[in-house]
A = this chain, B = another copy of it.
């Protein structure tokens, strides 16, 4: 018996589970140059059903009620598992999955939001893909796993990226491989790498958030406060146009009629991950990069900075200690325990739960993360071209820095309390140690906004 509902037949050929999670967040932030801000909101409110039908077939359907209509759909897939490989390679079955699921990319991204150490994922998560509809194959064992798949439409974001009436939908090829030489109850060593190739759709190449526009998925680790300091202005990076659309009420600087969307030819993202645990001590880190290939002719003709290819990157390192002696290693799931998201951490086995003679588990953690959305410096030779097009000095300057999306470094300190299984209270304090403004928000330069967040989480 678990917290939620779980039923199973005696021969274990069938089972069914109803689960869910509710995360209530509150927080305040010192918004740069505009004073402070506070808010209270639900971060996630999900229900899910999952089950096993016959011994080889699995399904899962998860919905987040903070989303609207089909945008609230999260995991929704059918899986088939069969032993097709000789047991010298693996004793575990191969997994085939079709439906809405995470692309296999980055340890922290595919770790359940119930179990990530901090309230929000780190800054470089803005370069990782979200859930998409697709087909995936996975294989592995206790110590290793490889997943690969082809993906298309996403539900986790707005559906603006649908192709036009006559266009083709975009698609991704994504793979993640992990290797964990040490997997014990209180010791862990884990390595991994991921790669995604993206082919944009015919008409809306620039409008797939989290996937294409660098930084658009970033909320600066402060989701309910909706901070978005750094992001590459969309039109600049991918539309082959130095013009950009200002926040509100300001018209486009200029958009020559012969410029069209779709100048992005393709992109690829890559990620390296590492995690190690020794008793109550745990460290984890990832490095992510994104590379965009543009149509060189159009981009250069317009004097667009960065030329035909753009590079962005980010990283984070984090450490945590369980003051009450629990080990994160015990919550690690290899492919043998979690074929959907192998190589991630799950819920902590609390040694002395509250109400059973103890005070639950207590954890402190720190993280340093960086996201760099700047690409190249000012290209002087473009100035002449832009000068002829842009109206005045301010516009020229903006145009010239068109691909500068900003750079941010954050330090986060965290305190987590796990009174009983399924319940967690979290407090996070985040300070932007470095903030280099994107081209459209010059007032952010040199600011050091701080954010305090508090979360009450329950899952069942």
Interface residues, chain A, with chain B CB atoms under 8 Å away: 1, 3-5, 7, 9, 14, 16, 18, 20, 22, 24, 26, 28, 31, 34-42, 45, 47, 49, 51, 53-57, 59, 61, 63, 65-70, 72-73, 76-78, 80, 82, 98-100, 133-134, 152-153, 155, 162-163, 165-169, 226, 353-356, 419-423, 456, 458, 460
Contacts and interface: CB of A to CB of B under 8 A. Distances in A.
Q: From DSSP, what is the main secondary structure of chain A's interface residues? A: strand
A7 B8 CA distance: 12
Contact of A456 (B3, B31, B37, B78): B78
Given A3-B14, A51-B3, A61-B20, A73 B167 contact: no
Nearest to A82: B355
26 contacts: A1-B14, A3-B14, A4-B49, A5-B5, A5-B16, A22-B78, A34-B165, A36-B166, A37-B163, A38-B163, A39-B162, A40-B133, A40-B134, A40-B153, A42-B73, A47-B49, A53-B420, A53-B422, A53-B423, A57-B419, A65-B69, A65-B70, A67-B70, A69-B72, A82-B355, A165-B226
A429 to B, nearest CB: 18
A22 B76 contact: yes
Contacts of A9: 1
Given A39-B153, A163-B39, A421 B53 contact: yes
Contacts of A39: 153, 162-163, 169
A22 B18 CA distance: 16
Given A22-B61, A166-B35, A423-B78, A456 B98 contact: yes
A163 B63 CA distance: 27
Given A31-B165, A41-B153, 15 more contacts: A16-B460, A20-B61, A24-B99, A26-B152, A37-B168, A42-B100, A42-B133, A45-B70, A45-B76, A49-B460, A54-B356, A63-B65, A65-B72, A69-B72, A98-B456
B420 A78 contact: no
B49 A167 contact: no
B458 A31 contact: no
Nearest to A67: B69
B165 A59 contact: no
Contacts of A100: 24, 42
A28 B421 CA distance: 47
The 3 closest A-B pairs by CB, nearest first: A68-B69, A40-B152, A78-B458
B57 A65 contact: no
